[in-house]
């Protein structure tokens, strides 16, 4: 097997990480108390017991209510700093952090509170050994109009945001619903990525749409592309990045999809490994690589390639990439 020290020592980029999914039970309780929010849980065990799900829908039903404890700029800053410290311990040198403004603005927390708190942590990240960036995600189960309004609200903070993504429930919310939003995002200079979740109804059609109509540079998850070898060849040719999350996959589907992740990487696609929502799925990036390595008997070359690919498909500047590669 591949030892953990080898994995941790490799410089890597974490490119698929929802900051709201890093809310550990300890911090949730601390913020609930600080803000006087009654979450109906009073111990770590209570909170852990509530982190119970069998698929994406049941996960999201736990995930959104938990955010109620996030109210102030300091809350968002503390959340992101806790993640960054944990990521640094795993050898993450670059973190591109998803955040869901609509999950906060929809419950009365201003966009400015969210972005100011996260930005404060991003500015402090280099002192922890991490180069950090923010990716604004739209919630695909909300309207395209709400996404467009969120995009417009982000423009005063354009310099703090590297790109946009699309998350939440894919069922009934295909990528073309957001074609105009992503076209506008591209126009203002945001980089583009989108979730194409594992084994969704219409997965392969949605992957075709994001590649041909939306024009993304990366796909979050996306391993169902293997159903269409011509699309795989195209993704390889175009250098499309895939951000795969084995531990998360094993919670929201029947397995970690390790064979698919490895097949895609060995086919020549740029594949990175990430943790998605580590506080909920119980594994940060090192745990994800370790789990995949054990399940698929990865070679050291495989692990090195995954780490290098994560740097290559990151949206860091070229000088930084050259230092890490
Ligand atoms: N938002 C946070 N985690 C997610 C996931 N695993 N899939 C879709 N949306 C999400
Ligand atoms: Zn995700």
Domain holding 190, by residue range, is: 4-324
Q: Ligand 1 centroid vs 28 CA: distance in angstroms? A: 19
- What the block records as the tokens of 238 is 């175009």
262: closest CA among 308, 312, 207, 303?
303
Q: How far apart are CA 287 and CA 137, in angstroms?
A: 25
Report, as an integer, the average pLDDT of 215-223. 98
Question: In this structure, which residue's CA is closest to atom 5 in ligand 1?
Answer: 168
Q: How far apart are CA 154 and CA 160, in angstroms?
A: 9
Give residue 1's pLDDT. Answer: 82
- What the block records as the tokens of 22 is 């890093």
Asked if residue 121 has pLDDT above 90, the reply is yes
pLDDT-derived band at 195 (thresholds 50, 70, 90) equals very high
197 lines ligand 1 (CB under 6 A): yes
Q: What is the pTM of this model?
A: 0.98
198: closest CA among 155, 243, 157, 230?
243
Ligand nearest to the backbone CA of 168: 1
Instruction: Please answer whether residues 67 and 23 qualify as being in contact, where contact means their C-beta atoms are separated by less than 8 angstroms.
Output: yes
Give residue 52's pLDDT. Answer: 86
- Long-range pairs, 169-172, Cβ under 8 A, ≥24: 169/56, 169/57, 169/60, 169/140, 169/141, 170/140, 170/195, 170/196, 170/197, 170/200, 170/206, 171/57, 171/200, 171/201, 172/141
From first CA to last CA, the distance across the chain in angstroms is 24
Residue among 15, 18, 246, 252 to mutate when testing ligand 1 (max atoms within 8 A of CB): 18
195 is in an annotated binding site: yes
Number of domains in the chain: 1
Structure ipTM: 0.96
Report, as an integer, the average pLDDT of 236-260. 96
200 lines ligand 1 (CB under 6 A): no
277 is in an annotated binding site: yes
Give residue 55's pLDDT. Answer: 87
Q: Ligand 1 centroid vs 323 CA: distance in angstroms? A: 31
Write down the mean pLDDT value for the chain. Answer: 97
Indicate which atom in ligand 1 lies nearest the CA of residue 168: 9
167 lines ligand 1 (CB under 6 A): yes
CATH number at residue 101: 3.20.20.140
């Amino acid at each position: 097997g591949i030892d953990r020290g080898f994995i941790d020592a490799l410089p890597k980029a974490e490119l698929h990480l929802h900051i709201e999914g890093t809310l550990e039970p300890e911090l949730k309780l601390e913020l609930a108390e600080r803000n006087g929010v009654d979450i109906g849980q009073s111990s770590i065990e209570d909170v852990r017991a509530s982190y119970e799900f069998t698929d994406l829908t049941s996960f999201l039903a736990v995930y959104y209510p938990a955010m109620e404890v996030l109210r102030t700029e300091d809350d968002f800053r503390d959340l992101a700093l806790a993640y960054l410290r944990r990521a640094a311990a795993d050898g993450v040198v670059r973190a591109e952090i998803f955040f869901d403004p609509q999950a906060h603005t929809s419950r009365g927390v201003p966009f400015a509170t969210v972005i100011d708190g996260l930005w404060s942590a991003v500015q402090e990240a280099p002192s922890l050994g991490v180069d950090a960036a923010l990716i604004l995600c739209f919630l695909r189960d909300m309207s395209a109009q709400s996404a467009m309004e969120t995009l417009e609200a982000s423009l005063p903070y354009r310099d703090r945001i590297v790109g946009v993504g699309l998350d939440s429930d894919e069922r009934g919310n295909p990528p073309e619903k957001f074609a105009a939003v992503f076209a506008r995002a591209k126009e203002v200079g945001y980089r583009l990525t989108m979730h194409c979740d594992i084994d969704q109804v219409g997965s392969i059609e949605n992957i075709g749409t994001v590649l041909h109509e939306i024009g993304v540079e990366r796909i979050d998850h996306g391993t169902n592309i293997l159903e269409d070898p011509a699309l795989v060849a195209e993704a390889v040719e175009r250098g499309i990045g895939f951000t795969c999350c084995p531990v998360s996959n094993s919670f929201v589907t029947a397995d970690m999809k390790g064979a698919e992740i490895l097949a895609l990487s060995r086919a020549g696609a740029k594949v990175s490994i990430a943790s998605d929502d580590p506080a909920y799925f119980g594994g940060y990036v090192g745990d994800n690589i370790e789990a995949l390595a054990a399940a698929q008997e990865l070679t050291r070359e495989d692990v090195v390639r995954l780490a290098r690919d994560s740097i290559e498909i990151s949206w860091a500047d070229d000088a930084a990439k050259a230092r890490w590669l």
